[in-house]
Structure 1
Amino acid sequence: MAAKRDPAAIRYRNPGAMWGRTGKRPAGGATVPTNAKIPLKWGSTQTVYLSDGTGQGNNIAVFDTPVQGICAQLDLWRTSPKYKNKRFADAIATWSGGNNVPDYIAYCKKRVPGLTDDTIMNDAFWSGPSGIAFLKAQAAHEAGKAMPWPAADWIEAQRIVFGKALARSKPAATPAAAAPSDVVTAPAPVAVKRPGILSTLWNVLRGKDAAVVTTPEKARPGLHPDGDAVLYDQQEMLSSKGYTEVGNPDGLMGDRTKSAIREFRKQNGLKPSEAIDAEFASALLTAGPRRVAAARADATAKDLRDSGNSQIKTLDGFGNIGWLLGLLGIGGGVDQSGLLGKANDTLQTAQDTLGTIATVFQTIINVAAWCFAHWWIFAVAAGLYLLFKVAMGVLNVVVLFKQGFLSRADR
Structure 2
Amino acid sequence: MHNKIANEFGFSAPVFYLKQRRLKGAESNVSRMARICWKYRIPPTQFYNHFIKDGAKINRSFFHFEVASHMNSYTAKTVEIERKLNKLLGQSDKKYFSYRFMHGLLDRNAHGFIAERKQWCARCYDERHEVGNQYRDNGIFDDLYWSVGTIKICMLHSCSLREKCQHCFNYQPYISTTSEPGFCHYCSGFLGGGYSAGVDEEELSRQRVLFHLFYISTYDEFRPDFERFSSNLRALQEAYPEANSEYLGRIMGCGDDVVRNWLKGRRKPKIESLFMLQRALGFMGPHQLFSKDAHFVSAVALAKNLSLNFNTRSRFRDLMKEVEIKQAMEAMICGQEETVSRDDLAERFGVTKGYLASRYRLECTALSDAHRHRGALEKEKRDADLSVMLDRAFTMCRSRRNKWTIENIVKELPDGALDGMEYKDIYMAVGQAKERFANRKKVAA
Same fold (TM over 0.5): no
Q: TM-score, normalised by structure 2?
A: 0.30
Q: TM-score, normalised by structure 1?
A: 0.32
Higher RCO, 1 or 2 (CA under 8 Å, sep at least 6)? 1
